[in-house]
Amino acid sequence: MIQVEGLTKDYGLRRAIDNLTFHAEKGEILGFLGPNGAGKTTTMRILTGFMPPTSGNARVAGFDIMDESIEARRRVGYVPENVPLYENMPVFDYLQYMANLRHLPDVEESVFDVLEQVQMLDRAESYISSLSKGMWQRIGLAQALLHKPDVLILDEPTIGLDPAKIIDVRELVREIGRERTVLLSTHILSEAQQVCDRVLIINKGHIVAEDSPDQLQSRLAGAQRVALRVGGDTDGLKAVVEKVPGVNQVVEGDAHEGGLFEFENAPGQDARPEVARALVSQGYDLLEMKSVGMSLEEIFLKLTRDEPAPLDEGKVDRVDNVEEAESDA
Amino acid sequence: MRNIWTIARREYKQYFNTPMAYMVAFLYLLVMGVIFYFNLINAAYQQMAPQVQVVVGPMVTIMLFVTPALTMRLLAAEQSEGTIELLLTAPLRDWELVLGKWLGGLLFMLSLLAVTLIYPLILNQLVDPGIDYGVLVANYLGLVLMAASLIAVGVAASSLFKNQTAAFFATLGIMLLLWLIGISSQAAGSLGSKILLYLDFRGHFFDTLYRGVIDLSDVVYYLSLTSLALFLGSVSIEIRRWR
């Protein structure tokens, strides 16, 4: 759906992106991850036909972005960074305008459809200037979905939103991504981890890593280690955990503090729910369970910094709620 | 064509959504009304029947100052608010965008001109045997042609700037230059003076259409100016992509 080959863009003497090559398949949510100024927006602007590349070529939905720009643009939905919208237009009029520019056969129906999809039907008559930031984002998405595009390109879709709205937008993106190709940029790692099927980490115009979020993490951080804290009596716990399938190795933790254990997942497996279940069913008081090792955050920093960051292997990154693990049981 | 019409319709509607356009319309019609009134009184003192020119003459001058205010927003605001990104990534050619903006502005200007038709109609009631309709048609044809070219210049200037004020003064500057070119032609040599005379924005109206003479060369002049400005506007949008 998206094929990019050797894409390069210079702004005067500054090279914004350098020889980027990647692709995205149908039904895939591809995350574009990188610090500010890495070239994410530039790449997206080239793919959407906003600006031409200095060299290299790209095809979107099967059409060359230079030679068949109009055809390619017909098949792309785009939400630019900060979601520019016409403030002094009502929501409905704005979407109607965009639908007309895209020659949709049934404009009103399409507008109502997308408004329903982004749950904004009740604000169809409101002026865009009166909407909250979260609603702007949804109107931006509605505009991008009007023509049911094959490819959706979202530049920082959750920037500036409050946490509840971020979750809404992410859910919406996941839902949309089931049928079409989504390219989304973000500098929030957990977002890429939660939403994307595959992540490209880009820094200073270069792709520095490309894989699924989980693979990236396990590949770069080595095997997944999980720390446990168990209250009360811990006799025989080691044996119980070792018996759980998917657990490679169990070590007893800090001698000064009782009840601390660490186990290592077998490659590509996550034994946490099984371990939690086993411990609870055996009557142990499971207090805490957290994964240890390099987070995507640390991988990211390591990849995007010039000098390699000192890695603290024992650093705890993500606290997984024990309750969550237990509710699985 | 459809895209041009879609854009033009939105721009036209937007004028009624912004205070600026109302102020421009108010000023235009108010100033026109006052001038019309004094011209009538003046004519009455001199005991001569006023003609259409007492309406159209001042209207041309006011148009010169009103047009930049109407066009400055058209593309500059799109650039400052970032909405140009929506248009340039829509399946829409750059010239369609420029033409649509121009048509939207022109339609608003034509609406204003239509309202001013009330003055010749009043005049028609006041003077005996009424006004010369041929002269009226020629004058208004001239106004429409001038509006078309001035708005095209305005759209082209607006495409160059993010800042609306800059777009306003750039447009006004180009217009005044076109306006004053005729004066310099008297000082220049014979061939140069001919060229400058042909470029003179005023002359093509006041020497012919204003007097009720419809000359094809004047129509061609204004249409050429319009096309040239719209072409440059499209090029400027195209260049904008490469920046």
Q: For residue A196, what pLDDT is reported?
A: 87
Percent of chain B clearing pLDDT 70 (strictly above): 97
Q: What DSSP line would sit under A104-153, residue for residue? A: -SSHHHHHHHHHHHTT-GGGTTSBGGGS-HHHHHHHHHHHHHTT--SEEE
- The CA angle A296-A297-A298, to the nearest 5 degrees, is 90
92-131 in chain A: CB under 8 A from chain B: 93, 97-98, 100-103
Q: What DSSP line would sit under B13-28, residue for residue? A: HHHTTSHHHHHHHHHH
Confidence category of residue B5, pLDDT binned at 50, 70, 90? very high
pTM of the model: 0.80
Q: Quick one: average pLDDT of B119-142? A: 86
Higher pLDDT, B229 or A249: B229
Query: Are the C-beta atoms of B59 and B32 separated by less than 8 Å?
Result: yes
Q: What DSSP line would sit under A223-283, residue for residue? A: S-EEEEEEES--TTHHHHHHHSTTEEEEEE--SSSTTEEEEEEPTT---HHHHHHHHHHTT
Tokens of A44: 């997206």
Rounded (10°) angle between helices B53-80 and B164-185? 140
> Mutate which of A86, A107, A139, A141 to disrupt the B interface (most B C-beta within 10 Å)?
A86
CA distances from B92 to A49, A54, A136 (A): 11, 22, 23
Chain B residues with CB inside 8 Å of A85's CB?
83
Percent of chain A clearing pLDDT 70 (strictly above): 84
CA atoms within 13 A on the CB side of B99: 13
Q: Hey, are the CB atoms on A101 and B241 less than 8 Å from each other?
A: no
Provide the Cα torsion B78, B223, B64, B195; round to 10°. 120
CA atoms within 13 A on the CB side of B232: 14
- The CA angle A100-A103-A109, to the nearest 5 degrees, is 70
- Cα–Cα distance for residue pair A43/A52, rounded to 1 Å: 10
Q: Quick one: average pLDDT of A101-117? A: 91
Higher pLDDT, A106 or A265: A106
Q: Hey, are the CB atoms on A45 and B6 less than 8 Å from each other?
A: no
Higher pLDDT, A197 or B188: A197
Closest of A288, A259, A256, A293 to residue A272, by C-alpha: A288
Q: For residue A220, what pLDDT is reported?
A: 58
- Nearest Cβ partner of A73 from B14, B91, B243? B91
CA distances from A132 to A116, A120, A137, A159 (A): 18, 12, 9, 13
Q: Hey, are the CB atoms on B6 and A74 less than 8 Å from each other?
A: no
Interface A-B, measured as beta-carbon pairs within 8 A, has a size of: 64
ipTM of the complex: 0.88
- Nearest Cβ partner of A74 from B3, B88, B91? B91
Q: Hey, are the CB atoms on B88 and A49 less than 8 Å from each other?
A: yes
> Mutate which of A54, A87, A101, A155 to disrupt the B interface (most B C-beta within 10 Å)?
A101
- Cα–Cα distance for residue pair A202/A189, rounded to 1 Å: 12
Query: Are the C-beta atoms of A144 and A79 separated by less than 8 Å?
Result: yes
Q: For residue A313, what pLDDT is reported?
A: 40
Tens digit of each residue's pLDDT (9 = 90 or more) over B199-211 = 888 888 888 888 8
Tokens of B113: 């001109």
pLDDT at A105 exceeding the cut of 50: yes
